[in-house]
């Protein structure tokens, strides 16, 4: 009878969902997207039309009254924050030698990222373009006071 030797090369202990792979993919996808998002943002704010002089409260209020720019800014906020935080995480992984220091730095990083994303999202969606009692000349043209 042939001796059956069990395969000595079974993969090592299985890990759970592999975040490194998705992290890597996310960086490749969000990078190019951010280039388009950020540069369109810059050009539309600073170059076209009246250029940089046009920027005031009314300009921002006008933009955020438009769902298109709401979604645009939201995408920019989320992608940039997660992309940047993940990059910082890699640097921390490289340089923090003590496990506790590394863990705490990474926890702080994600906490700050979460907080900023939350605040930013809140502002984009709850922004009031016509706050009561504001000076009329600062408000966008579509406000009822005009």
Partner 1 sequence: MADKAIAEVISLKVTLMIRRFDPEVDSEAKWVDYDIEMYGTDRVLDALHKVKWEIDGSLTFRRSCAHGVCGSDAMRINGRNRLACKTLIKDLDLSQPIYIEPIKGLPVEKDLIVDMNPFYQAYRDINPFLMANDKPKRERLQSPEDRARYDDTTKCILCAACTTSCPVFWTDGQYFGPAAIVNAHRFIFDSRDEGAEVRLDILNDKEGVWRCRTTFNCTEACPRGIEVTKAIAEVKQAILKGRA
Distances, alpha carbon 98 to alpha carbons 1, 58, 86, 95, 103, in Å: 54, 50, 19, 9, 9
Least Å distance, CB 94 to partner 1, is 5
- Please, are residues 129 and 65 in contact by the beta-carbon 8 Å criterion? yes
Q: Which is nearer to partner 1, 87 or 131 (CB)?
A: 87
Q: Which of 139, 137, 125 is nearest to 57 (CA)?
A: 139
* Joined tokens for residue 32: 């190019």
Residue with tokens 């943002």, as numbered in its chain: 41
Q: How many residues bind partner 1 (CB under 8 A)?
A: 17
Query: Considering the rule CB under 8 A, would residue 12 count as an interface residue with partner 1?
Result: yes
Query: Considering the rule CB under 8 A, would residue 98 count as an interface residue with partner 1?
Result: no
Q: Fill in the DSSP letter of residue 51.
A: G
Interaction residues for partner 1, span 16-75 (CB under 8 A): 18-21, 23-25
Q: Give the range of 72-80, 92-100, 111-119, 121-129 binding partner 1 by CB under 8 A.
A: 92-100
Q: Give the residues lining the site for partner 1 (CB under 8 A).
A: 9-12, 15, 18-21, 23-25, 90, 93-95, 97
């Amino acid at each position: 009878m042939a001796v059956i030797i069990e395969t000595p090369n079974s993969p090592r202990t299985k890990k759970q969902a592999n975040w490194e792979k998705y992290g890597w993919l996310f960086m490749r996808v969000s990078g190019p997207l951010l280039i388009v998002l950020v540069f369109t943002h810059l050009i539309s704010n600073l170059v076209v039309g009246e250029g940089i002089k046009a920027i005031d409260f009314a300009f921002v209020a006008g933009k955020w009254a438009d769902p298109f720019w709401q979604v645009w800014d939201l995408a920019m906020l989320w992608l940039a924050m997660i992309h940047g935080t993940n990059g910082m995480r890699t640097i921390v992984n490289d340089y923090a030698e003590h496990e506790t220091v590394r863990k705490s730095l990474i926890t702080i990083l994600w906490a700050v990222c979460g907080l900023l994303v939350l605040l930013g999202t809140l502002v984009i969606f709850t922004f009031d373009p016509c706050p009561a009692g504001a000076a009329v000349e600062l408000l966008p043209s579509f406000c009822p006071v005009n």
